[in-house]
Structure 1
Amino acid sequence: MPIFTIVDQDTCIACGACGASAPDIFDYDDEGLAFYIADHNQGNTPIDPSLLNDLEDAVEGCPTGSIKLAEEAFNGELDKGQ
């Protein structure tokens, strides 16, 4: 089953933890806020299965819980994630 991710940039504190744990998944905008690289934080592109361990590390390391996961595409909407 595919896993999708998106970052809630309203709660992201630009700490850099996700990029350190998962540099192939997350990057930062000009304000330092994290975003999902594959689709510019729309949550429509499933995570490559080879990156799932890094994703898990990033989710566990996020101090604000800003990284959301779902089994269906977010389509840019945060309310689908957990």
Structure 2
Amino acid sequence: MLAPELFTYDEAGIASFKPDQNTGSLPLDDYAKIDFKLAYTRCPTGAIKRSDKPFPQK
């Protein structure tokens, strides 16, 4: 857990982005970008996705 202010885990170990309830709709401020990049580059499963635009809602 490299960025606990950004990510949380459920009981199954699935991570989600806390600031926007995992919708991909909230931009990161400069400080959060530093923590996000650390978690993104060190994620052992490659499960963290990033985009310059909000993710499509299902």
Q: Would you call these one fold, judging by a TM-score over 0.5?
A: yes
Higher strand share: 1
RMSD between aligned residues: 1.5
Give the alignment's TM-score, normalised by structure 1: 0.62
Where relative contact order (Cα < 8 A, 6+ residues apart) is larger, the structure is 1
Q: Which of 42, 47, 64 pairs up with 2:28?
A: 47
Task: Give percent identity, aligned residues only.
Answer: 36
Gaps of 5+ in 2: none
Give the alignment's TM-score, normalised by structure 2: 0.84
Higher helix share: 1
| Separation in structure 2 between the aligned mates of residue 32 and residue 53 of structure 1, nearest angstrom | 23
Q: How many residues are paired up?
A: 58
Q: Which residue of 2 is the match for residue 75 of structure 1?
A: 56
SS of residue matched to 2:49: strand
**4+ runs deviating over 3 angstroms:** none
